[in-house]
Structure 1
Amino acid sequence: MPKKRPAVAIASAAALAFSLTACGGSGPKNKEGLGTADAIAVGHRKPVPVLSGTTLDGAKLDLASFKGKVVVLNIWGSWCDSCEAEAPYLEQAYQAFKDKGVQFVGVDTRDNAGQAKAFVKAKQISYPNLFDDDSETLLTKLAGFTSLGFLPSTLIIDKNGDLAWRALRPVDYNDLSAALGPVIAE
């Protein structure tokens, strides 16, 4: 029996390391900027790929329909502790900015629909959330704009559809409020 304990300890440590890497780790893809939040000057912005798909409510959603609005795009997973911690701040910011021409959209990835719906319900998230499941089709379209191996991440897309701000780390209400002000004023 004592010989089994090291194997169990090693397996437990490996599982813990994997779960930490999956949420806030530094996977090999798109590591640049992890842990940062940066504004992008108007002349240096690039168009964000248009995402479309099915929301957790079963509705069709196309980001192109929000052209002319500022869009806050948050990429999350229900299994991610940092995503869970930031969810109330995102909802708070959504409530504060929805009447100022700002649309929030979540992108749930690496979940099954039941997990994602339970997360949205538990966190009382009222803005639409696209469902990306294990296929990562939507996440892959954002290569170069966000990390493919790190969650959460938040992008602010300006009224022209260009990336104006990105956070490759958890955000809070103050982060979002400070970042949205200048983009809304443009």
Structure 2
Amino acid sequence: MLRRTDRTRRSAAVAVVTAAALAFGLAGCGGSSSKNKDGLGTAAAFSVSDRKPFPMLSGTTLDGSQLDMNSFKGKVIVVNIWGSWCDPCQAEAPYLEHASEAYKDKGVQFVGIDTRDNTGQAQAFVRAKLISYPNLVDGDSESLLTKLAGITSLSSVPSTLIIDQKGDLAWRALRPVTFTDLSAALDTVLSGK
């Protein structure tokens, strides 16, 4: 039988471990607390006058086809950076797919960037989560992510970026997102704000 002090210590240890796991989960797979120079754990909208051009990426998708984001010019583009190994990425995937379906007839195109991942596991993730939008493969080289230096934190997975119709970064979340997050941001960008 455990003595009262042993139970108290064990309860305290469980509480510390739980709090640490929760903090890690909320920060995302690649992030840390929101109090840092990269803005990890935050979401921000950029005014039209403060937006920077987004590099239109191209490469091979998880299904083996080629994709050039220039083919989506004139549309609002949502870019989600993810990995199948990332628990917050798994949690947000249904919200992203739901938003993709809800906004596809409103001039919005979703594109995923699978990074630091095993291609087979990433393909299984996309099938299991019923993700219908294309996903570029970044792999271990991170050649796509390096093109986003200065636009987003390269260490924050998941991250979601919204590019306006002119090709400029309008919104960025360096944390997991929900459908509510995405729909509010998309409605604002689609309205021209």
TM exceeding 0.5: yes
- Match status 1:174 vs 2:177: no
Structure 1 residues 175 and 55, CA gap change in structure 2 (3 angstroms) = same
Q: What aligned pairs does 1:48-67 form with structure 2 within 5 A after superposition? A: 48-67=54-73
Checking the alignment, whether the CA contact within 8 Å between 1:24 and 1:151 is kept in structure 2 is yes
Distance 2:147 2:84 in 1: 20
Q: CA deviation at 1:26?
A: 3.8
Distance 2:30 2:178 in 1: 16
Checking the alignment, whether the CA contact within 8 Å between 2:28 and 2:158 is kept in structure 1 is no
For the residue of structure 1 that corresponds to 2:154, the secondary structure is coil
Distance 1:46 1:25 in 2: 23
**Percent of counterpart pairs with the same letter?**
71
- TM norm structure 1: 0.85
Aligned to 2:132: 126
Distance 1:88 1:55 in 2: 20
Aligned to 2:103: 97
Q: Which string of whole-angstrom CA distances, capped at 9 and with x for unpartnered residues, describes residues 43-97 of structure 1?
A: 0000011200011111111111111000000000000000000000000000000
Checking the alignment, whether the CA contact within 8 Å between 1:70 and 1:101 is kept in structure 2 is yes
Structure 1: tracts of 5 or more residues without a match: 1-12
Q: CA deviation at 1:182?
A: 1.5
* Two-structure CA RMSD over aligned residues (Å): 2.2
Distance 1:137 1:146 in 2: 14
Structure 1 residues 54 and 67, CA gap change in structure 2 (3 angstroms) = same
Q: What aligned pairs does 1:21-170 form with structure 2 within 5 A after superposition? A: 23-26=29-32, 31-170=37-176
What amino acid maps onto 1:182 in structure 2? T
Q: CA deviation at 1:22?
A: 8.3
Checking the alignment, whether the CA contact within 8 Å between 1:48 and 1:145 is kept in structure 2 is yes
User: Which deviates further from its counterpart, 91-100 or 145-154?
Assistant: 145-154
Runs of 4+ in 1 over 3 A off after TM superposition: 19-22
Q: Which string of whole-angstrom CA distances, capped at 9 and with x for unpartnered residues, describes residues 80-123 of structure 1?
A: 00000000000000000000000000000001210110110111
Q: Which string of whole-angstrom CA distances, capped at 9 and with x for unpartnered residues, describes residues 3-24 of structure 1?
A: xxxxxxxxxx9xx99x979814
Larger radius of gyration: 2
Matched length: 169
Checking the alignment, whether the CA contact within 8 Å between 2:28 and 2:176 is kept in structure 1 is no
Aligned to 1:10: none
Distance 2:56 2:78 in 1: 13
Q: Which string of whole-angstrom CA distances, capped at 9 and with x for unpartnered residues, describes residues 16-43 of structure 1?
A: 99x979814349xx95211111110000
Distance 1:176 1:22 in 2: 17
- TM norm structure 2: 0.82
